[in-house]
Amino acid sequence: MNRFIFATFALFVFVSDFTLIAAEKPNIVLILADDLGYGDVSCYGATQVKTPNIDRLAAEGIRFTDAHAVAATCTPSRFALISGIYPWRKPGTGILPGDASLIIPPKSVTLPSILKNAGYTNGVVGKWHLGLGTPKSPVDWNNEIKPGPLEIGFDYSFIIPATGDRVPCVFVENHHVVNLDPNDPIRISYKEKVGNEPTGKERPDLLKQSPSHGHDMTIVNGISRIGYMTGGKSARWVDENIADTITAKACSFIETNKEKPFFLYFATHDIHVPRVPHPRFVGTTSMGARGDAIVEFDWSVGEILKTLDRLKLADNTIVIVSSDNGPVVDDGYLDRAVELIGNHKPAGALRGGKGSAFEAGTRVPFIIRLPAKANAGHVSDALIALIDLPATFAALARQVVEQKIEQKSDQTIDQKNDPKIPETAIPDSENVLPALLGETNHGRDSLVLAGASLSLRHGTQKVILPNPKGRAISVNTNIETGNNPNPQLYELKKDLREQNNLAEQEPDRWNELRTILQEIRQKKVVVP
């Protein structure tokens, strides 16, 4: 649909039904879990783990059954969310080491910069994994750390620089490592050992959780990581406390900014490896660390909801819960997740998992609670994606501005208050506001997904491009990758589990869909 018609439609929806949203800029809280699967929460069918807070959000909001991250791993998925650009358009957006440079150039148009233009105060708390610094001035962890979140539109940041399983194992608040002792400087390397501390490979006897693959370098808090680190002893995190620390930071960001419109991107460490939940969650499920980490994640969601209630912000705040990619059971540590899984299906009825081109790689839980709990309990099968949030939030913020302008007696448009985003800046992000508001069950028509192979969703049809080289099953994670030397075509309406490959018997349909995918790939896009 043409963007203008779409925006007009969105405005109509807005003005007709959401005067409350239009009256004030709603706050936005985006809670993004790490590696949480489609079937990992009870409102999406899990029975061996209970997630009452996420379920409450679904009961008070809209639950999407066909929402996607556009990539099946963390960095490319988050790159798309923040930039509105498909990650495969830009080299270097694969899973990053902890010493990588920032992959979104400062001053580009981003999800937070769009909201900042519209008057929001933006915070990011939790996992970053989009790099910091530049190739010319790589990060010195003992000095000012930039560019990073603050240079691409956030006003406040409290981040885990990469992932929990990668050095440096410290928090960075705005431009500095938290609790760093200047007499114990940090050094990081992903190439060779730095300092004299033993690695997991050298001293497995020192480990409280052993690796199953990789993850055998510097030991922090009894767990060996990816990468080498020395120094920064007083700044190192304790895994058991990560959820408490970042949840408290997220809640205090809300409290500090309660008087003005804010956007909080709360990216939890849960349920990524190493899964080391706080002792009060240990044993809350029969599934060991992975199940207990889901309960911990649900607790974090509950703390956010409680804070919004306490501050009487719930009726003017949009809350979204989703995940950056699909589930994985063994992602590198012997935490007994495999042995204790029981009948739990992390991907629900879907095929594949993290990293996969099959649906479970990217189809994730996605729940939105609207201000005043509009359309509570609705379930939507609209095809939407995290990459749509920049354009959708842009529409949301612009509606608010236009609404204000309309109220002016002379009807003149105040340019300062009418932030314009060049259409080309977020080329792959579509405005799906009507779907998010629950006014239509139609989202986008097509969506390109980056798992082990590239695939396309077009309505309920799915094609996966042939991949002659890739393995069919990942050696490390035992996940079906979706790689196949032959074309694959599935009709998900009848075959959600992608069992019946129609490509050979329906070559015309295959060609048609492949052409759509090629056209999207060949679209002329300026990538900053």
What secondary structure letter does DSSP report for 192? S
C-beta of 332: minimal distance to Ca ion in Å? 13
271 preceded by a cis bond (ω within 30 of 0)? yes
Taking the complex as a whole, how short is the minimal distance between the CB of residue 163 and Ca ion, in angstroms? 8
CA distance 301 to 57: 9
- Among the listed residues 454, 483, 478, 496, the one whose alpha carbon sits nearest the alpha carbon of residue 350: 496
Give the nearer residue to Ca ion in terms of CB position, either 35 or 330.
Answer: 35
Does residue 214 belong to the site contacting ligand NG6 (CB under 6 A)?
yes
Among 42, 53, 73, 481, binds ligand NG6 (CB under 6 A): 73
Q: Are 157 and 68 in contact (CB under 8 A)?
A: no
Q: Which H or E run includes 150?
A: none
* Residue of 34, 270, 298, 359 interacting with ligand NG6 (CB under 6 A): 34
Rounded least distance, CB 367 to Ca ion, Å? 18
Q: Which stretch binds ligand NG6 (CB under 6 A): 151-159, 211-219, 289-297, 300-308?
A: 211-219
Is 335 a binding residue for Ca ion by CB under 5 A? The answer is no
Q: Which does 197 bind (CB under 5 to 8 A by kind): ligand NG6, Ca ion, none?
A: none
Q: Give the integer Cα–Cα distance in Å for 234 and 520.
A: 49
Taking CB under 6 A as the criterion, which residues in 116-135 touch ligand NG6?
Answer: 129
Please choose which of ligand NG6, Ca ion, none residue 239 contacts, taking the beta carbon within 5 to 8 angstroms, the exact cut-off set by kind: none
Q: Say whether residue 97 binds ligand NG6 (CB under 6 A).
A: no
**Sole binder of ligand NG6 in the list 118, 169, 226, 389 (CB under 6 A):** 226
- What are the start-end ranges of the E strands in 162-300? 172-173, 176-177, 187-189, 219-220, 223-224, 228-230, 262-267
3 state SS of 358? coil
Q: Work out whether 325 is an interface residue with Ca ion (CB under 5 A).
A: yes
Distance CA(385)–CA(77), nearest Å, equals 10
Helix (H, G, I), strand (E, B) or coil at 449: strand
Q: Which stretch binds ligand NG6 (CB under 6 A): 209-217, 303-311, 341-349, 497-505?
A: 209-217
Buried b (16+ CB within 10 A) or exposed e, 314-324: bebbbbbbbbb
- Minimum distance from CB of 34 to ligand NG6 (Å)? 6
Binding of ligand NG6 by 322 (CB under 6 A) = no
Binding Ca ion (rule: CB under 5 A), the pick from 11, 21, 25, 34 is: 34
Q: At residue 404, what are phi and psi to the nearest 5 degrees?
A: -65, -45
Whichever of 14 and 333 has its CB closer to ligand NG6, that residue is 333
Count interface residues toward ligand NG6 (CB under 6 A): 18
The smaller minimum CB distance to Ca ion, of residues 331 and 402, is found at 331
Told to check if 40 binds Ca ion by CB under 5 A, we report no
Contact status, residue 42 vs residue 461, Cβ threshold 8 Å: no
Yes or no: say if 272 and 208 are a contact pair by the CB < 8 Å rule.
no
Closest to 91 (Cα-Cα) out of 99, 79, 109: 79
Angstrom distance (rounded) from CA 40 to CA 350: 12
* Tokens (6 digits) for 521: 């790939």
CB of 76 to ligand NG6, least distance (A): 8
Stretch that binds ligand NG6, among 98-106, 170-178, 208-216, 285-293 (CB under 6 A): 208-216
On whether the CB atoms of residues 429 and 388 are closer than 8 A, the answer is yes
Q: Is 155 or 324 the residue whose CB approaches Ca ion more closely?
A: 324
Nearer to ligand NG6, 79 or 263 (CB): 79
**165 is in the binding site of which of Ca ion, ligand NG6, none (Cβ under 5 to 8 A by kind)?**
ligand NG6
Based on CB atoms, which residue is closest to Ca ion, 141 or 333?
Answer: 333
Helices (H), 172-326: 242-256, 289-310
For residue 312, give the nearest of 22, 27, 58, 63 by alpha carbon: 27
Residue of 25, 68, 272, 444 that binds ligand NG6 (CB under 6 A): 272
Q: Distance between CA atoms of 64 and 275, rounded to whole angstroms? A: 27
The only residue of 16, 137, 143, 476 in contact with ligand NG6, by rule CB under 6 A: 476
**Binding test (CB under 5 A) with Ca ion, winner from 197, 239, 292, 324:** 324
Beta bridge partners of 156: 123
Shortest Cβ 84–ligand NG6 spacing (Å): 20
CB neighbourhood size of 519 (10 A): 10
Site residues, ligand NG6 (CB under 6 A): 34-35, 73-74, 95, 129, 163, 165, 213-215, 226, 272-273, 325, 331-332, 476
**Which residues bind to Ca ion, rule: CB under 5 A?**
34-35, 74, 324-325
